[in-house]
Amino acid sequence: MFLNRFYFPSGDREFDFFLSIKRKCYDNFYPFQVMPRKGLTQLDFEPITILYGGNGSGKTTVLNVIAEKLKIDRESMYNRSSFFEDYLALCRFEMEEEAPSPSKIITSDDVFNFMLNLRALNEGIDMKREDLFEEYLDAKYSNFKMRSLEDYHQLKKVNQSRSKTQSKFVRANLMENVKGNSNGESAYRYFTDSIKGRALYLLDEPENSLSAERQLELVSFIEEYARYEGCQFVISTHSPFLLAIRGAKIYDLDESPVDVKRWTELKTVKLYQQFFKKHENEF
C-alpha cells in the first residue's frame, strides 16, 4: 500500500473558493463541481481499487486529479482548465509511504500512441520487405558479365536467391517483424512493459483495444503483481472482467452519493447477465 486516502473539496469548500476569487468571467471551471454532484469527498484505497461508472461519471477526472496531486509520471496530455491547479490545492491525501519512481498513470491515449508508433515502424519494415522482394527478382533473373569485384558479389547474390524460395530469401535478409503482434497483443504488451514492479499504477479503462481473452490475461497479471510484487492499482473501468478482480474495492460513480459495491451489483454486469440469460438456449 502506498496511497491510503484521498480527499476532494466538498461543495461548501468549492463555494467558498469561488467567493474568494477575483475572476468574475469564466466559462470552464473544470474539475470544480464534478465531485459534489457525486457526493464524493473521500476515497479509501486497497491494494486494488476500482472506479466504476459510465461515460461522464467522472472516473477519469478522479484518476487525473489523483495523478497530478501525487505528481505521478504520465506520458499523454489530458483535459484540464485554468482552474485545475486551484482545484488541486484544495485536495489532500494520506500515504502509507511515498510511491516509488516507476509509479505512473496509463491512459487509453498512451496505449493508442504506442500502437501508432508500432504501425509507423511496421510500415517502414513493410517497405523494406518490398525492396528486398524487388532485389530478389533482380538478382534471380539478371544476366551477368564478370567485369569487377562488384559483379562477383552480385553473382553470389544470384546463387543465394536461386537456392532459396522468395520468402526464405526475404526472411534471411530482414529483421524480425514486430507486425506479428495484433493491436490487442501490442496493447497488452504495453501494460506488461509499463508495470515494472513495486509501485502505484493508475489505469484508465485498460480494457480498450483488448479482446476478452487479453482482458482476462491482464486481470491475472494485475492480481499477481498486487499480491507478489507489492504493486497498488487504482483502475477506472466498466469491463466485467476487470470488475471481477479478486479482492478489489469497487466505487460505483454512477451512484450519488458514490457507494462501495460488489461487482455483481453493478448495472453493467447485470445487463450482461440479463443478455446472456435471455440467449442461454442458443449456447
Q: Tens digit of pLDDT for each residue in 153-180?
A: 776 776 665 555 555 655 566 545 555 5
Domain(s) of CATH 3.40.50: residues in the chain: 3-110+182-282
Q: 143: which 3 cell numbers?
A: 544476366
User: Using 50, 70 and 90 to split pLDDT, how confident is the model at 94?
Assistant: very high
d(CA 219, CA 227): 12
Ranges 133-142, 204-213, 260-269, most confident: 260-269
d(CA 222, CA 40): 26
> Taking 80 as the threshold, does the pLDDT of residue 87 lie above it?
yes
Report whether 268 contacts 238 (CB < 8 A): yes
- The answer as to CATH 3.40.50 being correct for domain 3-110+182-282 is yes
Report whether 91 contacts 9 (CB < 8 A): yes
DSSP code for 73: B
Taking each helix axis from N to C end, the angle separating 149-162 and 108-141, rounded to the nearest 10 degrees, works out to 110
Work out the mean pLDDT of the chain and round it to a whole number: 84
How many beta carbons lie within 10 A of that of residue 34, not counting itself? 19
Residues 79-108, mean pLDDT to the nearest whole number: 90
Report whether 198 contacts 2 (CB < 8 A): no
The pLDDT value recorded for residue 187 is 83
SS (H, E, C) 84-130: HHHHHHCCEEEECCCCCCCCEEECHHHHHHHHHHHHHHHHHHHHHHH
The pLDDT value recorded for residue 233 is 98
Better-scored residue on pLDDT, 221 or 78: 221
Q: pTM, whole model, 2 decimals? A: 0.77
Report whether 225 contacts 190 (CB < 8 A): no
d(CA 186, CA 115): 7
Angle CA 196–198–204, to nearest 5:
65
Q: 20: which 3 cell numbers?
A: 474568494
DSSP code for 83: T
The pLDDT value recorded for residue 189 is 87
Tell me: the pLDDT tens digits for 184-239?
Answer: 678 888 898 899 889 999 999 999 889 999 999 999 999 999 999 999 999 999 99
d(CA 178, CA 122): 7
The amino acid sitting at 238 is H
